[in-house]
């Protein structure tokens, strides 16, 4: 049975929309007029409301600041060619949102309520959805603990919020990436599969060091031996080797990406052989050297398909074929865009019409 969202709406008096340069939309720096908030208190979700975007007042003792009970999701809304506004696969994000909540000992949110929350705030700010190609309205749902108590124990109160921002491409160039063999993003038995804030905080130092060496991103490897590839710094990762699409299989150290799942499904529809398994660094580098690896890319909501041009490993650079000539990536981007923008029939039911 579908639950109905009981929602209070307070509209902004003046829109910030006229101040936005839609020809210059750096990712994550511009936010729309409204945001959604809700509170978890006394064992239930309540106070669902949309209010003007702005600062919030919180106790400096809230447990999320001190003990890390905080996580988020990321998805996008699109302006279709016929003018409709759609959200891409929000049901999948709802499922992953609750998996993160459970792992961090936080309350789940009914999946239908989660989707209705996103749709409500996107609908109110639908004029913020860009019409320019490769520009979207990024949706950031998140939850954090709010108990003002300095004790290492799960909070009893939480806040759920949704903010929106028109954004351009996350990566605007082909990537030079470094295989990370010193630092670890996630270990077996940990919470690498959750979109926990702490996973990203711990990744900043190794990424900063990689940037200083001229790399754009990191390829994370397994915590035990740094032998197997797990994720790109800001996305899942995949390779085309011997004509097969190969990607690390998900586990408790790897995020189960929505875009990743979409790409794998479409590749199978195209008749391409897909392998989800452990992928060793040695296998990929050997394939690059002998010419059987024809493509490598990050896959994610923000990144979509981010081409990898070069992989650095232990002081040596491995150059991939010219990414601009990638047949697979071009075909996949077009297939995804055609669905997201309503240019083809949505036979899989991936678009949620707002």
pLDDT in tens, 135-160: 999 999 999 999 999 999 999 999 99
Burial class (CB within 10 angstroms; exposed 0-12, middle 13-18, buried 19+) of 104: buried
46 has pLDDT over 60: yes
Token output for 22: 């839609």
Read off the pLDDT of residues 70-125 as tens digits, 9 standing for 90 and up.
Answer: 999 999 999 998 899 999 999 999 999 999 999 999 999 999 999 999 999 999 99
**Rounded Cα gap, residues 244 and 259, in angstroms:** 18
- At 243, give phi and psi (nearest 5°): 80, 5
C-beta atoms surrounding 137 within 10 Å: 23
Domains (range + CATH), the chain: 8-168 (3.30.470.10), 175-340 (3.20.10.10)
| Exposed/middle/buried for residue 229 (C-beta within 10 Å: 0-12, 13-18, 19+) | buried
pLDDT digits (tens, 9 = 90+) for 172-226: 788 999 999 999 999 999 998 999 999 999 999 999 999 999 999 999 999 999 9
CB count in 10 Å sphere of residue 32: 26
Q: Give the dihedral of Cα atoms 81, 84, 85, 90; nearest 10 deg.
A: -100
On the 0-12 / 13-18 / 19+ scale of CB atoms within 10 A, 269 is: exposed
Percent of the chain residues topping a pLDDT of 90: 85
């Amino acid at each position: 049975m579908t639950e109905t969202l009981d929602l209070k709406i307070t509209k902004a008096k003046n829109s910030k929309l006229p101040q936005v340069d839609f020809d210059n939309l750096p990712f994550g720096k511009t936010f729309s007029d409204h945001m959604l908030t809700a509170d978890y208190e006394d064992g239930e979700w309540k106070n669902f409301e949309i209010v003007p975007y702005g600062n919030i007042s919180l106790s400096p003792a809230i447990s999320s600041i001190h003990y890390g009970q905080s996580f988020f999701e990321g998805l996008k809304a699109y302006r279709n060619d016929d003018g409709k506004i759609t959200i891409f696969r929000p049901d999948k994000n709802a499922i992953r949102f609750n998996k993160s909540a459970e792992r961090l000992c936080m309350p789940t949110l009914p999946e239908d309520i989660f989707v209705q929350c996103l749709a409500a705030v996107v609908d109110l700010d639908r004029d913020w959805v860009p019409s320019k190609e490769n520009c979207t309205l990024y949706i950031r749902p998140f939850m954090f603990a709010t108990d003002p108590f300095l004790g290492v124990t799960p909070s009893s109160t939480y806040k759920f919020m949704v903010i929106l921002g028109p954004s351009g491409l996350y990566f605007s160039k082909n990537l030079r990436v470094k295989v990370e063999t010193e630092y670890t993003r996630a270990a077996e038995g940990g919470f690498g599969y959750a979109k926990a804030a702490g996973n990203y905080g711990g990744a900043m130092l190794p990424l900063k060091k990689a940037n200083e060496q001229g790399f754009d991103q990191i390829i994370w490897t397994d915590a035990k031996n740094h032998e197997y590839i797990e994720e790109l710094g800001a996305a899942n990762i995949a390779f085309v080797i011997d004509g097969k699409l190969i990607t690390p299989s998900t586990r408790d150290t790897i995020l189960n990406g929505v875009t990743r799942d979409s790409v794998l499904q479409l590749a199978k529809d195209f008749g391409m052989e897909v392998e989800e398994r452990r992928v060793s660094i040695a296998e990929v580098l050997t394939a690059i050297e002998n010419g059987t690896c024809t493509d490598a890319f990050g896959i994610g909501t923000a990144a979509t398909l981010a081409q990898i041009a070069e992989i650095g490993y232990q002081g040596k650079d491995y150059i991939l074929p010219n990414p601009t000539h990638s047949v697979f990536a071009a075909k996949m981007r077009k297939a995804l865009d055609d669905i997201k923008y309503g240019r083809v029939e949505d036979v899989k039911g991936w678009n949620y019409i707002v």
